[in-house]
A = this chain, B = another copy of it.
Amino acid sequence: MTAAPEPRKDGMASEEMVWPDELFLDLDRNGPVPLYFQVSSRLEAAIRSGAIPPGSRLENEIAIGQRLGLSRPTIRRAIQELVDKGLLVRRRGIGTQVIQGQVTRQVELTSLYDDLRNSDKEPSTTVIKHAVIPATDLVANMLGLPAGADVLYLRRLRSTDDVPVAVLENYLPPEFADISPENLEARGLYQILRSRGVGIRIAQQKIGARRAQRDESRLLGIDKGGPVLTMERVAYDNTGRAVEFGHHCYRPDLYGFETTLVAK
């Protein structure tokens, strides 16, 4: 780390046009990685490391293209990726600037398991219940199955470093009934689905809060009737077919949801 990129106190954007000397000279034109992605990921790394400081302006798109030997649309797409991530801001007639203020990670479409792994925790799972049951009307509707159809019901306790963090309840179509409890204790659910060729592409979530119910307070080690953070999710695969419905509750002192919103 060099000098800390402290925010300016005068409200003006700094306009130095800094470019980390030739950090973009190893583009692979033949490999499978798209050029716009190679550019955007190198650019993102330079911003997150502070090599391109907050508030600084980028060169215009054509100039960057000439510098890298790429066309303007390719550069434009690379920049757009970072605008969507909230790292850059574009203004017509002005230029492109690095955002001021600390940058954080985006909430991606990942499972809790992956979230925890990525934050240096060691997640573990206990399968509390694993059974094929007839779907309630709610579950059947969410999964697009006929009422009363068989579904796989899972109830799991997710912990990090042996501290319980969440109670996870899931419902899956019956074709997944052969997913074993042992498998579920070793890997995340989305990881298992992916290895079976089922890629999750879209999910709809609702986040809320309520009192801990029934045995949730005991499982999570919190006060009886204490607050829990809840998340309900329906996940769809490539074809838009509903693959998983779940409602989960989290210990609010150990887990929360972070998002970056970018206005269109």
Chain A interfacial positions (CB closer than 8 Å to B): 7-9, 11, 13, 54-55, 86, 89, 91, 97-101, 104, 107-109, 144-146, 173, 199-211, 226-230, 234, 236, 238-242, 252-253, 255-264
- Pick from B91, B206, B242, B260: contact of A256, CB below 8 A: B206
- What's the minimum C-beta distance from A224 to chain B, rounded to whole angstroms? 12
Establish whether residues A202 and B11, one from each chain, have CB atoms under 8 Å apart when the complex forms. no
Q: How far is the CA of A210 from the CA of B228 in the complex (A)?
A: 7
Q: How far is the CA of A211 from the CA of B223 in the complex (A)?
A: 11
- Pick from B86, B201, B234, B260: contact of A89, CB below 8 A: B201
Establish whether residues A202 and B240, one from each chain, have CB atoms under 8 Å apart when the complex forms. no
Q: How far is the CA of A89 from the CA of B243 in the complex (A)?
A: 15
Q: Which 9 A-B pairs have the closest CB atoms?
A: A227-B227, A7-B144, A209-B209, A99-B240, A208-B256, A100-B240, A209-B252, A209-B229, A109-B261
* Chain B residues whose C-beta falls within 8 Å of the C-beta of A236 in the assembled complex: 99-101
Chain B's closest residue to A235 (CB) is B261
- Pick from B107, B144, B209, B260: contact of A202, CB below 8 A: B260
Establish whether residues A104 and B204, one from each chain, have CB atoms under 8 Å apart when the complex forms. yes
- What's the minimum C-beta distance from A34 to chain B, rounded to whole angstroms? 12
Are A206 and B257 also in contact (CB < 8 A) when A144-B101, A211-B226, A236-B101 are? yes
- Pick from B107, B229, B230, B242: contact of A100, CB below 8 A: B242
Q: How far is the CA of A62 from the CA of B98 in the complex (A)?
A: 36
Q: How far is the CA of A236 from the CA of B263 in the complex (A)?
A: 11
Chain B's closest residue to A260 (CB) is B204
Are A227 and B211 also in contact (CB < 8 A) when A13-B239, A13-B240, A97-B240 are? yes
Establish whether residues B99 and A146, one from each chain, have CB atoms under 8 Å apart when the complex forms. no
User: Can you add 7 more A-B contacts, CB < 8 Å, to A204-B259, A227-B227?
Assistant: A8-B144, A13-B239, A13-B241, A89-B240, A202-B261, A207-B258, A226-B227
Establish whether residues A206 and B258, one from each chain, have CB atoms under 8 Å apart when the complex forms. yes
Establish whether residues B234 and A208, one from each chain, have CB atoms under 8 Å apart when the complex forms. no
Q: How far is the CA of A145 from the CA of B228 in the complex (A)?
A: 34
Q: How far is the CA of A210 from the CA of B234 in the complex (A)?
A: 25
Q: What are 11 A-B pairs with beta-carbon distances under 8 A?
A: A13-B240, A55-B239, A89-B201, A97-B240, A100-B239, A201-B263, A202-B261, A205-B261, A207-B207, A207-B229, A210-B253
